[in-house]
Amino acid sequence: MSAIYQRVAFVGLGLIASSMAHAIRRAGLAGEITGTARSAETRQVALEIGLVDAVFDTAAEAVVGADLVVLCVPVGAMAGIAQEIAPYLEPGVTVTDVGSVKQAVIAAVGPHLPEHVHFIPGHPLAGTEHSGPRAGFAELFDNRWCILTPLDGGDAPALERLVSFWQGIGAHVDLMDPPHHDLVLAVTSHTPHLIAYTMVGVADDLRRVTDSEVIKYSAAGFRDFTRIAASDPTMWRDVFLTNKEATLEVLGRFTEELFALQRAIRTGDGVLLHDYFSRTRAIRRGIIEAGQDTAAPDFGRAKR
């Protein structure tokens, strides 16, 4: 595949950026890759392992000459980065991001970008519990979805170019309006993460179950909760603080469902429980049939 962008600049060099860089090289999607990260150690590692062609101490330096800039930092840091890079962005450059909240990113980044910039917020639905530049791998996005939330009045050719870029990386692409994205992700990602953090916290607080027992007897359910709860705490703090309304709405509905199940257990309503579990089991089958997981254990991820 021929290059879609001449220079791609990453601000932040963690799991998503490093995986994107590997996928870009695999498909030949860019002539050059530059990057920056807050940590000097991260910048050095990225250069040593050939993740980027050039690394810079500041975001302002990294974006000079780029025709695609990808913001791979926590949502809470987006506004500051946007303000820093704005004077150094080339005319016609596309700026996108990988944050899992979209309305907050648009509010944080949009006001700082000049008119000659194409701002197309994005969110690749892929990840692992690992982080850092060494955690990335080119296959992370294969057969996964990337949601783009283009703004009204945006440039159509710039959007088409970014769609082609993500498809070249290996992802399916869907377009969505920002509020709907945030509600969908509150259901499929944000609230499940909060529940996972809570369940692991309950196990930690329940002193009748010793730490060794929690670790030794972790069945698949709890083990999977701990995998989710191992995700980056800064990122998830920002997600919940910036997607409050949607997350609280879904949590309210979750609480209602939980109360209904509590009552069924208390009253011995086996029919309700069986029907409920049968209905929800179908969701899992749908995920497998859509190719977003396999029936294999450990979330179907191959050992690497």
40 and 134 part of one domain:
yes
27 occurs within a structural domain: yes
54 and 129 part of one domain:
yes
Residue range(s) defining the domain that contains residue 57 = 5-176
DSSP secondary structure letter of residue 13: -
Q: Are 17 and 35 in contact (CB under 8 A)?
A: yes
pLDDT tens digit sequence for 106-147:
999 999 999 999 999 999 998 777 788 999 999 999 999 999
Is residue 180 helix, strand or coil?
helix
35 and 73 part of one domain:
yes
Q: What is the CATH number of the domain that holds 34?
A: 3.40.50.720
22 and 158 part of one domain:
yes
The structure's pTM equals 0.81
Which tokens go with 88?
């150094």
pLDDT band at 303 (very low <50, low <70, confident <90, very high): very low
132 and 161 part of one domain:
yes
Task: Give the model's pLDDT for residue 302.
Answer: 47
150 and 249 part of one domain:
no
Q: What is the CATH number of the domain that holds 239?
A: 1.10.3660.10
Residue 193 pLDDT exceeds 90: no
pLDDT band at 165 (very low <50, low <70, confident <90, very high): very high
Average pLDDT, the chain: 88
Task: Give the model's pLDDT for residue 212.
Answer: 63
**How many independent structural domains does the chain possess?**
2
Task: Give the model's pLDDT for residue 299.
Answer: 44
Q: Are 137 and 304 in contact (CB under 8 A)?
A: yes
State the distance between the two ends of the chain, measured CA to CA, in whole angstroms: 26
Q: Over pLDDT 90: what percentage of the chain?
A: 60
61 and 152 part of one domain:
yes
Task: Give the model's pLDDT for residue 292.
Answer: 67
What is the distance between the alpha carbons of residues 50 and 52, in angstroms, rounded to a whole number?
5
pLDDT tens digit sequence for 12-31:
999 999 999 999 999 999 99
CA 15 to chain centre: 10
Task: Give the model's pLDDT for residue 131.
Answer: 82
Q: Over pLDDT 70: what percentage of the chain?
A: 88
90 and 10 part of one domain:
yes
229 and 172 part of one domain:
no
Instruction: Render 221-284 in DSSP notation, one character per residue.
Output: HHHHHHHHHTS-HHHHHHHHHHSHHHHHHHHHHHHHHHHHHHHHHHHT-HHHHHHHHHHHHHHH
